[in-house]
């Protein structure tokens, strides 16, 4: 996808491909799909529709047995994860620009005008807050907190019941940065956020205080474009470490308490990474999907036959690694060696957001045209 970049407050578009943002095909010639001998059997468990994404990327949210989705026109729907039954469907009353965040009692979405909207599960608006900047990333709702991130990288925390702003974190950013839809990771009382310039920051969720600020990647090169080293995707974390990857930079893992570097590898990624208890799986800027040891960063395997296909962030699900591409194909790769295990078409439009797990054998993808597909693997 072409990478829209912020330059002095205005948008322009640079290299690679831009299927997520309106172009029909990547600028770089995509690899042809190779014939495979399936070793897995994915099937559509249920499917539905929501509004198209236009030029944004909409991330679904799973809360218990409900999966929430939204689209640019303002429609918000909650489906029963295992059957596709509609638990709620309502209109936010305006166009949306972010994916959805949800808890058992609150649904939160954002607009390009910086409005953070909170609804109860029936669709009644509970509160609205104004954020100084467009909201591209899905808010995070957990406990008594709603954490939102504006397009300029600022992080805001609100009281989930009242919408009162509790704290804000901001830092200076480079003159040139990539427009992206990455939000924040909220885990065990800590907000982890990646920033332009290759920094990963751990914030105390209660008050926004900085716990640590570590370097994932340093800008390199002679031109401003070459020196872009932005973290454009969500970090991943477990009990011991938190990892992040930068575009035109590195993938690095840190001690989650102290922020000290455990290991790092030269990897450039816009789409981001997933993980399981063994490996980290990352889609690089050439659309190769690689597995790296979670403990050491050593290479385990690399699948290069999806080059130029606008590959999403990977989802690790059981024995498979799952990604979507710019033509709406879902690809299942073997967790052991990266070989193709199966392929399934959807509606022909890009799968920009990473697939999300519904249970141990099922996952959901949302396409740019608004298709919602729950898929189970046998």
pLDDT in tens, the chain (378 residues): 445 544 443 333 333 334 333 333 455 689 999 999 999 999 999 999 999 998 899 999 999 999 999 999 999 999 999 999 999 999 999 999 999 999 999 999 999 999 999 999 999 999 999 998 899 999 999 999 999 999 888 999 999 999 999 999 998 776 656 677 889 999 999 999 999 889 999 999 999 999 999 999 887 766 767 667 788 899 999 999 999 999 988 999 999 999 999 999 999 999 999 999 999 999 999 999 999 999 999 999 999 999 999 999 999 999 999 999 999 999 999 999 999 999 999 999 999 899 999 999 999 999 999 999 999 998
Q: What is the DSSP string of 15-77?
A: EE--GGGT-SS-SSPPPPPPP---SS-EEEEEEEE----TTS----EEETTEEEEE-TTSEEE
Same structural domain, 151 and 191: no
5 within domain boundaries: no
Q: What's residue 228's pLDDT?
A: 73
Number of domains in the chain: 3
Same structural domain, 191 and 166: no
CATH number (domain holding residue 238): 2.40.10.480
Same structural domain, 72 and 128: yes
Distances (CA, A) of 217 to 122, 252, 283, 298, 318: 44, 8, 17, 18, 31
CATH number (domain holding residue 151): 2.40.128.630
Same structural domain, 286 and 266: no
Same structural domain, 320 and 377: yes
Residue that finishes a domain, picked among 118, 135, 170: 170
Residue that finishes a domain, picked among 139, 170, 201: 170
24 within domain boundaries: no
Q: What is the pTM of this model?
A: 0.91
Over residues 231-281, the pLDDT tens digits come to: 889 999 999 999 999 998 899 999 999 999 999 999 999 999 999 999 999
CA angle 109, 21, 130 (to 5 degrees): 30
CA–CA distance, 84 with 119 (Å, rounded to integer): 21
Same structural domain, 343 and 260: no
Which domain range does residue 365 map to?
271-291+302-378
33 within domain boundaries: no
Same structural domain, 205 and 264: yes
43 within domain boundaries: no
Tokens of 242: 């938190």
Same structural domain, 282 and 263: no
Backbone region of residue 121 per phi and psi (left: phi > 0; alpha: psi in -120 to 50; beta: other values): alpha
Same structural domain, 317 and 348: yes
154 within domain boundaries: yes
Q: What's residue 16's pLDDT?
A: 37
Same structural domain, 64 and 95: yes
21 within domain boundaries: no
26 within domain boundaries: no
Residue that finishes a domain, picked among 152, 170, 188: 170
What distance lies between CA 142 and its chain's CA centroid? 17
Same structural domain, 124 and 165: yes
296 within domain boundaries: no
Same structural domain, 275 and 247: no
């Amino acid at each position: 996808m072409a990478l829209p970049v912020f330059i002095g407050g205005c948008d322009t578009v640079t290299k690679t491909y831009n299927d997520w943002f309106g172009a029909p095909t990547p600028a770089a010639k995509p690899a042809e799909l190779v014939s495979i001998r399936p070793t897995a059997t994915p099937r559509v468990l249920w499917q539905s529709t929501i509004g198209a994404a236009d030029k944004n990327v909409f991330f679904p949210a799973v809360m218990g047995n409900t999966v929430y989705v939204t689209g640019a026109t303002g429609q918000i729907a909650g489906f029963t994860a295992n059957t596709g039954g509609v638990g709620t469907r309502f209109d936010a009353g305006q166009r949306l620009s972010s994916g959805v965040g949800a808890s058992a009692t609150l649904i939160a979405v954002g607009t390009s005008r910086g409005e953070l909207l909170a609804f109860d599960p029936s669709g009644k608006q509970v509160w609205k807050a104004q954020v100084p900047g467009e909201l591209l990333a899905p808010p995070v709702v957990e406990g008594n907190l709603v954490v939102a991130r504006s397009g300029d990288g600022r992080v805001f925390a609100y009281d989930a019941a009242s919408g009162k702003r509790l704290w804000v974190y901001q830092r200076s950013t480079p003159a040139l940065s990539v427009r992206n839809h990455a939000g924040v990771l909220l885990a065990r009382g800590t907000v982890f956020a990646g920033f332009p310039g290759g920094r990963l920051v751990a914030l105390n969720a209660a008050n926004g205080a900085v716990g640590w600020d570590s370097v994932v990647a340093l800008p390199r090169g002679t031109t401003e474009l070459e020196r872009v080293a932005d973290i454009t995707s969500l970090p991943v974390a477990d009990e011991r470490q938190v990892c992040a990857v930068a575009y035109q930079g590195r993938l690095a893992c840190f001690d989650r308490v102290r922020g000290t570097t455990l290991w790092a590898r030269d990897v450039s990624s816009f789409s981001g990474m997933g993980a399981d208890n063994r490996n980290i799986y990352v889609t690089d800027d050439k659309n190769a999907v690689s597995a790296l040891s979670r403990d050491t960063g050593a290479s385990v395997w690399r699948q290069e036959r999806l080059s130029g296909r606008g590959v999403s962030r990977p989802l690790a699900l059981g024995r498979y690694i799952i990604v979507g591409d710019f033509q709406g194909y879902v690809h299942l790769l073997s967790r052991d060696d990266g070989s193709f295990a199966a392929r399934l078409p959807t509606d022909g439009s890009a799968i920009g957001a990473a697939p999300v797990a519904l249970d141990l054998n099922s996952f959901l993808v949302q396409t740019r045209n608004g298709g919602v597909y729950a898929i189970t693997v046998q």
